[in-house]
Amino acid sequence: MASLIPSILSRDPHTQIFFVGATVVFLVALIFATTWRSAKYDNNENPSPLTSFLRFFYASFLKPHNSGEGVNGQQDALESFYKAQAGVYDNTRKRLLRGREDMLGLVAAQLVQKAAKDRTHDTKRIWVDIGGGTGWNIEAMSEFVSVPEFFSSVYLVDFSPSLCEVARKRFKRLGWTNVKVICQDARTFRLEDHEAATEGAVTRSRSQSASYFDQDRPSVGGADLITLSYSLSMIPDFYSVIDSLTTLLSPTGTIGVVDFYVQSIVDLSFRNYTGGVINRHVNWFGRLFWRAWFDVDRVGLEAGRRDYLEYRFGTVLSADSRNYLLGSIPYYVWIGCPKKPSSSLAPSSEEIVERLDAAATESPYLSPVRHTSDLSQTVAKSTPELRSKAFDAAVINLSANLPLPSFFYQNNHWRIHYDDQLKKHTQFKNEYIYAFTWEDSRVDQRLLKLGPEDVVLAITSAGDNILSYALQSPARIHAVDLNPNQNHLLELKVAAYAALPYADFWKIFGDGKHPDFRSLLISRLSPHMSSRSYQFWLNNAHIFTKRGSRGLYETGGSRHAIKVVRVLATLLGFRTDIKNLVEAKTLNEQREIWGKKIRPYLMSRLLSYFVVSHEQFLWAALGVPHNQLAMLEADHIASEALPGQTPSTSPLEHTAKELKSSKGAAIWEYMVQTLDPVVQTTLIGEDNPYYLVCLQGCFSQRCHPDYLSVKAHQKLSRQGAFDGLRIHTDEINEVVSRLAPGTLTVAVVMDSMDWFDPGAEAARQQIVKLNRALKLGGRVLLRSAALTPWYISAFESLGFQGKRAGARIGGACIDRVNMYASCWVLTKMENVSAKTSRDGSVDLEKLEI
């Protein structure tokens, strides 16, 4: 038998499909037989699990199907398939039709969010469930909202009389009088046939509008919610049904779909409106097999169904998954809205795009996209306006009658559109490096003293610093990170402020674990998140929920360093000493534990030489790139110089061989200068959350970053607290170059300047762009692995005045992290303009103010 299986699988694809299909049928039977609890059943109304499965199997795989050639066409075909199994439909679909609860939770969250935001809105809400079958979805919605109270009218529209009859019995049993079961072709369903006309509403136009921005609405105002649960794939003429839904949905309505699908990532390569592609690709065999498998039951899995849905509506949220219980069947959950976005920011789509663009570029809001006067066109040509990449993408989509990029359909416009398929973003492989930020927010606050007039640009990292700045209420914060996943983490934190009480907020970000994270993500957080961020966290919900998981703070690239410490503590027997260290009540107690119990292991030269000093470890675990490593090596060479020698601290003055020869010693010395002063001067368990979270994997109620306090939650959970936040997924250069000149007051670039090649023209170009974006008197705050970084002189030659605000000299501890050798504040003293010559160099010219 063992030799027979490979021979079968080596044959043609049809044989492979048959073999895999037989295996799936066997597994389905096994699951039905083993997962249902035994009980006494009535043979007609409540058949046993075995009877249910046999009916399902017979109707799906053995019973001859009506081809739909009779008088009633498609209805006869549906009835031929469903009549024999209508009574067991719900029993047999629970494990097959995955994602239905998720879809219902997402659309309910959208409706609740809109209701809370617009309290003046008429409480009359209409829900239309297309292909609602037995009414299972409508009853299941009661887990999220009270269906009889939340909705004024619910319409279940289905073309199968047998399923509709089951639905009528269900709602009679429940006593829900607001639910109406309509046995009708979805293409012909009209709300005005069942609802009284809304005063002031326009009459439906039967002719197709030339543009989706000019479509008339139905006379009853449209449905607030439309759902399709595994019904779109069963509709042969899906184009006309989807077209009818565009006018059935109200201008502010929500549409939710869950269904099977198969698709290749190649199909999506040039689409910016699909809301992300995590898990969307299905390999060639999966596409071939599942299309053939479902075709037996006339379920269409061709990609065009989902593609047309995404073309006719705007994408709010989208997620792709697999039903691993039944052979890894691909399914998707999609939440949409009308193509023309509705927002309180502006009455028209053009103005929404313009206002969001103005906020992203710090430009004044001037006019809508369409310039109608010759004068405005002339001005635009003579003085081109600064535009964000999001604006460019939106204009292209508008001109092609495509939906806007999914970011424009969010309830909160914190996140700026970016192309997630660019190599510069995909290089991070859906992983962030930092789960928490390694900059001391207390020192930043002391040095910057932000006020209500400040406009701040800062690197996102894990977002902790961004939240610390938000507590100081500046006018605007531009959070910038090339790694999309770091911005996903910031988005999660901002959404949690908007949606969760402090207890849940603390569990997620204080403890780093929450057993109900996935349900909170769907029912509470999702309305406040972009589609890409939602996809990322849905895909990584196990971080917070999985038993045995160490939680949020042992994820990302930095987890490798934390794991090294934990493994050493276990192998060498000082885990108890680490626990005693973080529980120490005095500095003297802490110093003694460190010096006698822990330091001999962690500060071992063997550990430094064989583990820490390797470039791969430094980059993956600590985020230290090659150029930054060279800077601390050059500093070490200078510190080892004999009396009378004054070697340069710039890596440019040393050969690669010289730098490499000192690497092991340089890293060990850097570790000593970092950790010893921290232990000597800060009480880790009481006032140093950065090392506390490394050592115990979570924060404590007495020791945590500012953003985790009750007071911070009270302030940042207020409505509008993050109206000034814009999250950019791009390089600093790209963002700064699109900001209006002289609008920034503060730029916090962390240690990013260390990443440039020493003496690189690119570094000078970034300094020039920072100069251009900053106001006179504006400041750049940066940290460096070098005591005197080589690029400080470049800043000073390009209109800045440098001041070293902290330096690790003589065992000094410059902040609670102490990870960098120096901290600098560079103040803009004069404007500098730049012209790029043909060879790529920058010609600089200082301008009089």
Look at residue 519 and tell me whether its pLDDT is greater than 60: yes
Look at residue 7 and tell me whether its pLDDT is greater than 50: no
Taking domain 96-198+217-338, whether its CATH number is 3.40.50.150 is answered by: yes
Look at residue 721 and tell me whether its pLDDT is greater than 80: yes
pLDDT band at 202 (very low <50, low <70, confident <90, very high): very low
CB 463, CB 711: distance < 8 Å: no
Look at residue 848 and tell me whether its pLDDT is greater than 60: no
- pLDDT, tens digit, 9 for 90 and up, residues 289-311: 999 988 877 788 999 999 999 99
662 compared with 836, residue with greater pLDDT:
662
Look at residue 611 and tell me whether its pLDDT is greater than 90: no
Find the mean pLDDT for residues 439-463.
96
Chain-centre distance for alpha carbon 849: 43
CB 97, CB 131: distance < 8 Å: no
- pLDDT, tens digit, 9 for 90 and up, residues 84-133: 454 445 555 677 788 999 999 999 999 999 998 876 556 789 999 999 98
Question: Using DSSP, how many helices (H) and how many strands (E) does the chain show?
Answer: 38, 16
pLDDT at 347: 53
Neighbours of 48 (CB within 10 A): 17
Contacts 24+ apart (CB under 8 A), 678-682: 678/813, 678/816, 678/817, 678/818, 679/590, 679/591, 679/594, 680/587, 680/591, 680/811, 680/813, 681/587, 681/813, 682/813, 682/816
Residue for token digits 């490593």? Answer: 629
Q: Where are the beta strands (DSSP E) in 143-288?
A: 153-158, 179-183, 223-229, 249-260
pLDDT at 672: 85
Which of 49-53, 399-403, 532-536 is modeled with the greatest confidence? 532-536
Beta strand 329-338 with 249-260: parallel, antiparallel or unpaired?
A: antiparallel
Neighbours of 500 (CB within 10 A): 21
Look at residue 395 and tell me whether its pLDDT is greater than 90: no
Helices (H), 540-574: 542-545, 559-572
pLDDT at 335: 98
pLDDT at 378: 38
Find the mean pLDDT for residues 382-407.
82
pLDDT at 24: 57
395 compared with 511, residue with greater pLDDT:
511
pLDDT at 336: 97
CB 241, CB 308: distance < 8 Å: no
What is the three-class DSSP state of 293? helix
Find the mean pLDDT for residues 69-92.
52
Look at residue 510 and tell me whether its pLDDT is greater than 60: yes
Which of 344-353, 398-407, 679-688 is modeled with the greatest confidence? 679-688
Q: Which fold has domain 423-501+700-847?
A: Rossmann fold (3.40.50)
CA separation for the pair 731, 585 (Å, rounded): 43
CA separation for the pair 32, 41 (Å, rounded): 16
- pLDDT, tens digit, 9 for 90 and up, residues 492-509: 999 999 999 999 999 999
- pLDDT, tens digit, 9 for 90 and up, residues 476-488: 999 999 999 999 9
Look at residue 39 and tell me whether its pLDDT is greater than 50: no
Neighbours of 843 (CB within 10 A): 9
Q: Which residues are CB-neighbours of 723 under 8 A, at least 6 positions away?
A: none
- pLDDT, tens digit, 9 for 90 and up, residues 257-267: 999 999 998 88
pLDDT at 710: 97
Backbone angles phi, psi at 566, to 5 degrees: -65, -40
- As given in the structure block, the two tokens for residue 799 are 């209109």
Mean pLDDT (the chain, rounded): 82
Beta strand 455-459 with 476-480: parallel, antiparallel or unpaired?
A: parallel
Tell me the domain boundaries of the chain: 1-35, 96-198+217-338, 349-409, 423-501+700-847, 559-696
Look at residue 46 and tell me whether its pLDDT is greater than 70: no
Lowest model confidence (mean pLDDT) among 4-13, 65-74, 354-363, 532-541 = 4-13
Helix, strand, coil abundance in the chain, percent, nearest 5: 50, 15, 35
Q: How big is the chain by its Cα radius of gyration, in Å? A: 31
Look at residue 220 and tell me whether its pLDDT is greater than 80: no
- Same fold? 96-198+217-338, 423-501+700-847: yes
CB 133, CB 97: distance < 8 Å: no
Task: Please classify residue 260 by burial: count the beta carbons closer than 10 Å to its beta carbon, then call 0-12 exposed, 13-18 middle and 19+ buried.
Answer: buried
Q: What is the pTM of this model?
A: 0.85
